[in-house]
Structure 1
Amino acid sequence: MNDELGNSLGEHHAATQLATFLEQYPRALVLTGAGLSTASGIPDYRDRDGVRRGRVPIQGPEFRRDPAIQRRYWARSMVGWRMMSGAAPNAGHRALAALGADNRIGSILTQNVDGLHTQAGSRDVLELHGNIHHVTCLGCGANFTRAALQVQLEADNPGLRQVLAQPLPDGDAEIDPDAVTEFTAPACVHCGGMLMPDVVFFGDNVPAARTAAALARMEAADALLVVGSSLMVYSGFRFCRLAEAAGKPIAALNLGRTRADDMLTLKIEASAERVLPIVADIAVGWTAMPSTRSS
C-alpha cells in the first residue's frame, strides 16, 4: 500500500469516527482555533507541541499606553493586511458550514479573528476574541472597517505600500524596525481618538456579555468538538473543563497535542481541511440512507 492510499484510508476512518461522534451528539459545540485557518494561508500561533512561535505578542494595556507600540502594531498590520484581507475560507470552514446547515452540529465558537466562518456560510458563530476586519475608536466609540482604514494607512505611509514581509498569525507582519520610526499611526476621523482593532489582545479579558453568550452555548450543547486548537490559551481551554465537569464528551481534531488530551473521548490527529469535508459527506449520506450508518 502506498503512502497516499494509506493516508486516504486513514483520513476516511478518522472521518467516520468523527461523523459517528456527531451523530451521537448533534448539538455539539464546535470550538475552533488557528489550526483550522492555516490552509487559508494564515500562519498558526503554535507548533505541534503547543509551543508558541515567534515574538511575544503585544499586550492590550501596553498598546493603549504607549504610542510607540501603537505605531509598531499599525505598521505591521498595514503590511500584513494584504495577506489577511486576501484569505478565503478553506474546505474545513465550508464543511462546518454544511454540517451546521444540516443540523449536524450546534454553535461554532471560534478563537480566530479572521471572519472565515461567516464567509464560509456558517450562521451561528460567536467570535470569542473579536474580528480583525473591524476597528473601534477608544475615544468616541465610532466603528470602521479595517479595509477602509487600510486606505488611510497607505495614504499616510506611502513608503510601506510595496514592502514585502513574512506574515504572522496576528494578521500583521515582521518588518524592519527602522520602518516604524517614521510611521504615522491612524487616528479617528471624528474625534482624533486612538483606534484599536476590534479584537481581544493578550492581557485583556473577553467582554463579559460575550463570555456569558459563550457559556450559554456550552450549557446548551451535548458535547464539545475542538478543531485546530492546542487549547493552550485558557479562554478556550475553559470550555473543556466545563464540558468535563458536566459529563459531556469532548472530541478533538488537531495536528499535535492539546492541553486537554487527558479529557478527550476521541482524538484525531489529522488535517481539518481534509477530514471535515469527508465528515460532511458521510453525514449527508447517513441522512439520505439511515440504514447505512456506521457503528
Structure 2
Amino acid sequence: MPDDFHPGPLDQLLEQMAGRRFLVLTGAGISTASGIPDYRDSEGVRRGRQPMMYQEFLASTEARRRYWARAMLGWPRVRQARPNAAHEALAQLQADQRISGLITQNVDALHDQAGSQAVIELHGSLHRVLCLDCTQRSERQQIQQLMEAQNPYLADVDAAQAPDGDTLLDPAFEARFQVPRCPHCKGDRLKPDVVFFGENVATATAARATQAVEDAEGLLVVGSSLMAFSAFRLCRAIKDQGKPLLAINRGKTRADELLDLKVEEACERVLPLLTQR
C-alpha cells in the first residue's frame, strides 16, 4: 500500500460494498492515467473551450470540416491509449462476480480492452464512425486512413490534445481540410459514433442503463463529476430505490448531497487495493 494512502476510506468502502453486487459507473477520471485528458477540474468546472454542439455539427459543413481536421490529429492518442490499473481492477471484479455490471460515460473503449464484458457505453465509442446519410457504421481506423491520405499537409502538424480525441488546432490549418466520405454511400455526413453535447443518449442505451440500475444492489461512481445529466439521473434513480450510492472521485460531483460515501483518492490506486481486499 502506498505510504501516503490512508486505509480508512478503503475500509469504509469495503464495509459498504460487503455482500452486495454493485453496478459501476465510470467517467473521464478513470482514463486520465492512460493519457486521455478529462473535461473538468476538481470543482467540476469545464476546462478550455466549449465542445462542439450536436446541432452545430449537423447544420454546418464548415463545422464538420473543423471537427474532423482536429479529430484526425487527436485520434492516434486515443488509439494508442491502453487500460490502466483502474480499468484492469474493474475487469477483475467483474470476472470474480463482485460487481453486477459496468456503465461508462467514456468513449475510449478502454474497459473493453481491459477485458470487461457487456459494457454499456452511455455515450458511444470513438472507435466507430456513423454515416448520417445511410446509417452504416465504419471502423474509425479506416476513416483515419482516408483522412490522412487526403490531407497529407497535416502529417507533421503538432496540436495539443483535448478531451475525447479533440485537439487545439490553429484554424489556419482547417480551411483546406478534405472531409472524408462514407465508404458505403459516398455521403459526406460522417459523425463519430458518440453522443455529442446537446444530443440525447440513444433510447435503447438509456433503457439498458436504467435496467442495470434496477438490477443492482448499489451504485459505485468512479472518476466522474456527474455533471452530464445522463449519468446524474442514474444516481438519483439508485437513491430513489433506497440503495447505496458511493463514489471514488477527486473533487466535486453533482451528486455530492446524495452520496453515502466519497473516497477522494485516485481511482487507479483505490480500485486495485479494493480488488486485493
TM-score normalized by the length of structure 2: 0.97
Return the letter of the residue paired with 1:76: R
Structure 1: distance between partners of 2:264 and 2:255? 14
CA deviation map 1:144-200 (0-9, x unaligned): 111111110000000111211111112111111000010001111232221110000
Q: Is the 8 A contact 1:30 1:105 kept in 2?
A: yes
Contact 1:227 1:253 in 2 (8 A): yes
1:102-121 pair list within 5 angstroms: 102-121=96-115
How far has the Cα of 1:20 moved from its partner?
2.7
The alignment status of 1:219 with 2:214, answered yes or no, reads yes
Deviations 1:246-281 (A, max 9, x none): 111100000001111111111100000011001001
Corresponding residue number in structure 2 for 1:228: 223
Q: Which has the higher helix share?
A: 1
Shift of 1:19: 2.7
5+ residue gaps, structure 1? 283-295
* Residue 248 in structure 1 maps to residue 246 in structure 2: no
- Where does 1:1-295 land on structure 2 (aligned, <5 Å)? 5=3, 7-8=4-5, 10=6, 12-26=7-21, 28-193=22-187, 194-282=189-277
Check conservation: 1:134, 1:198, Cα contact below 8 A: yes
Give the length in aligned residue pairs.
275
Give me the identity figure in percent. 51
Cα distance between partner residues in 2 of 1:162 and 1:212: 44
C-alpha distance in structure 2 between counterparts of 1:179 and 1:69, whole Å: 14
For 1:118, give the aligned amino acid: D
Letter in 2 for 1:226: V
CA RMSD in angstroms, aligned pairs only: 1.0
TM-score (norm: length of structure 1): 0.91
Is contact 1:231-1:237 (8 Å) kept?
Answer: yes
Q: Is the 8 A contact 1:22 1:104 kept in 2?
A: no
Tell me the residue number matched to 1:288: none
Structure 1 residue 22 displacement after superposition: 2.3
CA contact (8 A) 1:250 1:264 kept: yes
The structure with the largest alpha-carbon Rg is 1
My pick for the range that moved more, 142-151 or 30-39, is 142-151
Shift of 1:139: 1.1
| Alpha-carbon shift at residue 13 of structure 1 (Å) | 3.3
Which AA in structure 2 matches 1:153?
A: M
CA contact (8 A) 2:108 2:164 kept: no
Q: Which position in structure 2 is the counterpart of 1:286?
A: none
AA at the equivalent of 1:74? W
Task: Report the Cα offset of residue 18 of structure 1.
Answer: 2.1
The Cα shift of 1:21 comes to: 2.4
| Secondary structure in 2 matching 1:107 | strand
Q: Is the 8 A contact 1:15 1:276 kept in 2?
A: no
